Amino acid sequence: MIGIFDSGIGGLTVVKALMEHLSGYDIIYLGDTARTPYGTKSSETVKKYALENTEFLLNKGAEIVIIACNTASSVATESIAENFDVPIFEVITPAVELSINTSHKPCIGIIGTRATVKSGIYEKKIKEINPQARVYSKACPLLVPLVEEGWINKPETKMIVKKYLHPLKVRQINTLILGCTHYPLLKNIIQKKIGKRVSIIDSSVAVASNVKAFLEKHREIDDMLSKKGRYTFFVSDVTEQFEKIATSMLKRDIHLKHVKI
């Protein structure tokens, strides 16, 4: 089984991308809805939650684990890799690799939660590959609650997106990384506000193609993964709103199972 966790429901954007790239692979998802959001918490707290979530997925039989949450990927990947002996995937590196290739003179904008932007991980990874690249980040803390309220096409959301993107637009970025699970749901508005010449990198799609390439190369691991098209969704707190968003995101009936972490 492929195990995936996120701070809540946003990681379903990664599940959706996986369903397209690796159709039929069994997936077990954990949304830590009782402790969400992670983006406003300290890195120590996020690390602790991320380790507990990984342990839960492994106990349920996951053979590989994807950290769908950008915030957890930013601050907890190392601790997870040190503590567990299974392949671990995070969402930062695949997005960085894609962003570097979109232009000869990369001028890259990154949007994410406060914790992700504060970690500086995207800048660090981009500069490791291309020290010449120009990189600008902007934390967009209001976007997660707006998406969770379902305010995707509201004028207020469009206005807030425009305001957040303004400093990146002024810098004339040519590439924009959506460094948060929720932002792919705002992709159309973001593209309109940043301009159609800017390439948008969706980290959910980037990680799905990265996992696919890994499994094609590592057949012994691929053989271990069951492929019966079973999807199981656990959350640490069940609310009607989450079930509604999950169903509309994945366009199928989703029944969330409650678990205590």
Q: Which stretch binds ligand DGL (CB under 6 A): 7-15, 16-24, 98-106, 127-135?
A: 7-15
Based on the shown chain and the rule CB under 6 A, indicate whether residue 53 belongs to the binding site for ligand DGL. no
> Closest Cα to residue 140, out of 59, 194, 197?
194
**Beta partners for 232?**
28
Q: What is the number of other CB atoms lying within 10 angstroms of the CB of residue 150? A: 13
**Nearest to 201, CA basis, from 93, 73, 98, 69:** 98
Category of 172 on φ-ψ map: left (φ > 0), alpha (ψ -120 to 50) or beta: left
Residue from 6, 26, 90, 202 in contact with ligand DGL (CB under 6 A)? 6
Neighbours of 259 (CB within 10 A): 16
User: Is 70 a binder of ligand DGL (CB under 6 A)?
Assistant: yes
Handedness of CA 52, 55, 61, 67 (dihedral sign): positive
Residue 10 in the binding site for ligand DGL (CB under 6 A): yes
Known catalytic residues are: 69, 180
Residue 5 in contact with ligand DGL, rule: CB under 6 A: no
Please name the residues in contact with 231: beta carbons below 8 A apart, sequence gap of 6 or more: 15, 19, 26, 27, 29
Site for ligand DGL in 141-170 (CB under 6 A): 144
Binding status of residue 37 toward ligand DGL by CB under 6 A: yes
Nearer to ligand DGL, 75 or 215 (CB): 75
Per the CB < 8 A criterion, the answer to whether 162 and 184 are in contact is no
Tokens of 40: 């406003």
Residue 204 contacts ligand DGL per CB under 6 A? no
Is 184 a binding residue for ligand DGL by CB under 6 A? The answer is no
Task: Identify which range of 21-29, 65-73, 214-222, 224-232 contacts ligand DGL by CB under 6 A.
Answer: 65-73
Closest residue by beta carbon to ligand DGL: 39
> For ligand DGL, which residue of 53, 77, 99, 116 counts as binding (CB under 6 A)?
116
CA 140 to chain centre: 15
Binding span for ligand DGL by CB under 6 A among 1-9, 80-88, 229-237, 241-249: 1-9
Our finding on whether 13 is near ligand DGL (CB under 6 A) is no
Residue 180 sits in the site that holds ligand DGL (CB under 6 A): yes
Q: Is the separation of the CB atoms in 145 and 180 below 8 Å?
A: no
Name beta bridge partners: 45: none
Question: Which of 33, 36, 93, 119 contacts ligand DGL by CB under 6 A?
Answer: 36
Residues that bind ligand DGL (CB under 6 A): 6-8, 10, 36-39, 69-71, 112-113, 116, 144, 180-182
